[in-house]
Chain A
Amino acid sequence: MLNDSTDERYEQFVSLFTRHEPGLRAFVRSLVFSWDDANEVMQNTGLVLWRKFDSFDQKTDFMRWACVVARFEVLAWRRDKARDRHVFDEDLVNLLAEEAAEEHEVLANERRALEFCLRKLSEKQRRIVIAAYEPGVRLNQVAAALGKSATAFYKTLNRARGGLLKCIEGQVIAEKGDRA
């Protein structure tokens, strides 16, 4: 049964977790092969974070702490799955995890810029990107629903991602410039 202080603690956790969940999910995404894998790891990670939340020092960076926990979850998960085809080696997971955690603030800026950049795409590209990223859809089905060949669809999607990356880069540099 939850007492008042547990209640309060829980609220703190939810607030921190909600705020950092997108960054954490992006972090996990860079360590595993597919979205299904990322979702699986994220579920476990959420649970573990809550279970260990007592050991989290509130004066430190939640995101850094969460990244460490998530990294271990990825490693544990990959040991179960190591016989599957597409799982990164342990040392590569560690490398990527360190570098992604290091960059987490930059990456958060980039995700913020993304919202702006998505609106800069042509309407057609934007619709295709949004349709492709709906949860649970399969890309070939989306292509079929839009009446496009898979090749044409991937081509547009790849082009849109390229455009987004370029736009994001411009935005992030512009923001830095503003501050300077």
Chain B
Amino acid sequence: MNREVFDEICQRWLNGELSDEQFAALQESLREKPEFRREFIRLANLDSGLRDLAMVEDVAPEVTLFPAAKTLRAGFLAMAAALALLAVSVALFLKQPTADSVAGDAPRTMGVAVVTAEANAVWEENGQAIRKGAPLEPGVLRLESGLAQIDFFGGASISLSGPAEIELVTRDKAVLNHGRLKAEVPPAARGFEILTGDVVLEDLGTTFGLAVDENVGANLIVFDGEVVATGRDGKPMSLTNGQSASLINGETKRQPPSEVGDFPDIEDVFAGSGNREDLRYANWKEASLELRQDPRLIAYYDFENLTPVSRRLKNRAVSGSELDGGIVGARVAEGRWGDKTALDFRLEGDRVRFDIPGEFDGLTLFAWVRIDALDRHLNSLFVTDYFDEYEVHWQLSGKGALHFATSPEGPEDIQEHNRRYYSDVFWDPGKSGQWFHLATTVRMGVGGVTHYVNGEAVGFSGGTQMHKPLARLRIGEADLSNWSDPIWETALRTLNGRIDEFAIFQEPLSAEEIRMIYENGKP
């Protein structure tokens, strides 16, 4: 057994987590090596000493319980200690309401979908108020005229053309009573269902159009992917790219695609409004829907449809909700465009928490960031807790450079091992409030780091150990725009600015890909 394994087993022993095999291995190694016995005795001594100290330790100013307790009997000590524990927990919650409270203490809505874009949309006013960005509960929506985009929480999105009546049933199911819609269903939302009078359409990951006329029946066209239509006869009919069917009286019949007419989609919606900003937004939105399907993504956060009560930053990549982030403190704000939501980071506690397992041979990190000020020596973009071996820290230097760091040794002997790469300086206070596309690609080996600003590769202005090879990379528990569990107690790395898109890939993207992502997303 080597030293590393032995240390690991000892820690598990102290935490009461040893398996039978590990116990046997521990015993074996102790029998064999005097230096292991010595280490073990020291650890037991530490363990015991900590136990003694924990009984009398004044853990917080507010729990200076009975100073005389040190001389009293153990029972009383234990009681005092129990009181102290209670106080510790309370103190931790009060002082750090920010860290670690992932997943929803915020009131949950019954929402199943949300309106994310409108063009001259007029809604019939009855039942729930329809506001862009506000969650919609199950129920009937009547669009008298105009166009609206509705995103279902299950991941599907529809463009609805008025006049239309649609009933939202669940986050993955709706009934189109009449009107036209174009649906966009990413793989993550597979199984999204639309019902008409008497036909069920199950979407298998695709784009399709559906028109329902109460008197005549329905027409369906599949633009891309596959839809299964099941009529009253219960026979499923599969339709793929370019195929069309009529759905009349519960029967599905194939027909030429020319029968079905036009289906306005999100881009037409904004073309209709004639607004350049909306067009840019729509253009990004389309690219974003495409991007989320990229199999190289570890996680992708589009920061869309955030509300003041959102506490979850949804991962839109196929890796799914396991990698959702927990929003802590940060406030919802305007993103690159008026209708796009972003998170605003400013206060010491503001951050989004992630736990992203795995080890990677390469990485791409990109984010759209509005930098308001660079107040700190280093300002966090995406920083793993502490800085254990192979973990990555992605930050902005106070001088205005992009900075990437990782170390095969973690924080041990930082001078010797920490690989740091500062980009050329690209930011100064004159650029405060502007949105920047920042990206860094990383691959193992020497010279594997490239920084990009607004789609262009930039050079280095400095660094340490840049000539040494990079090893594999890890993330684990990490913060966007902050640093939980810093190596140095006083380190403060809060970002002062906004982020409205963030992606992590497990490979370095090419320069051309980075440029395209910038082009598709520039404000």
- B-contacting residues of A (Cβ < 8 Å)? 22, 25-26, 29-30, 33-35, 38, 85-86, 88-89, 91-92, 95-96, 99-100, 103, 107, 110-111, 114-115, 118, 122-124, 126-127, 129-137, 139, 142, 145-149, 152, 154-159, 161, 164-165, 168
Contact = CB atoms under 8 A, between A and B. Distances in A.
A92 B40 CA distance: 12
Contact of B45 (A107, A122, A154, A155): A107
A127 B92 contact: yes
12 contacts: A22-B48, A26-B44, A30-B41, A99-B38, A124-B485, A130-B53, A132-B54, A134-B82, A147-B100, A152-B100, A158-B11, A164-B50
A154 B91 CA distance: 20
A38 B96 CA distance: 35
B51 A135 contact: yes
A111 B386 contact: no
Interface residues of B, number: 56
A14 B48 CA distance: 20
A95 B37 contact: yes
A118 B81 CA distance: 17
B13 to A, nearest CB: 8
Contact of B52 (A22, A132, A139, A156): A22
A22 B91 CA distance: 29
B44 A29 contact: yes
Contacts of A142: 85
A29 B40 contact: no
B27 A133 contact: no
Interface stretch (B16-24, B120-128, B160-168, B181-189): B16-24
A25 B48 contact: yes
B27 A131 contact: no
Contacts of B92: 127, 146-147
A114 B92 CA distance: 23
Nearest to A168: B46
A175 B17 CA distance: 35
Interface in B1-49: 11, 13-18, 20, 23, 27, 30-31, 34, 37-38, 40-49
B4 to A, nearest CB: 12
A111 B44 CA distance: 11
A111 B49 contact: yes
B37 A165 contact: no
Contacts of B78: 135-136
A29 B43 CA distance: 10
B11 A161 contact: yes
A29 B89 CA distance: 27
B477 interface: yes
A19 to B, nearest CB: 13
A27 to B, nearest CB: 8
Nearest to B50: A133
B42 A107 contact: yes
B66 interface: no
B507 to A, nearest CB: 27
B426 interface: no
Given A114-B50, A135-B78, A148 B100 contact: yes
B49 A110 contact: yes
B45 A30 contact: yes
B334 interface: no
A96 to B, nearest CB: 6
The 6 closest A-B pairs by CB, nearest first: A30-B44, A133-B54, A26-B48, A111-B49, A122-B489, A29-B44
A124 to B, nearest CB: 7
A22 B49 contact: yes
Contacts of B89: 131, 145-146
B11 A110 contact: no
A161 B93 CA distance: 23
A152 B484 CA distance: 12
Contacts of A100: 41, 44
A136 B78 CA distance: 9
Given A26-B48, A131-B88, A157-B15, 15 more contacts: A25-B48, A26-B47, A86-B23, A88-B27, A107-B45, A114-B50, A126-B59, A127-B88, A133-B50, A134-B82, A136-B82, A147-B92, A154-B15, A155-B388, A158-B15
A15 to B, nearest CB: 13
Contacts of A29: 44-45, 47-48
B355 interface: yes
B59 A26 contact: no
A86 B41 contact: no
Given A92-B27, A127-B59, A145-B89, A133 B53 contact: yes
B55 interface: yes
B386 to A, nearest CB: 7
Nearest to A134: B85
A133 to B, nearest CB: 4
B81 A134 contact: yes
B49 A130 contact: no
B145 interface: no
Nearest to A160: B50
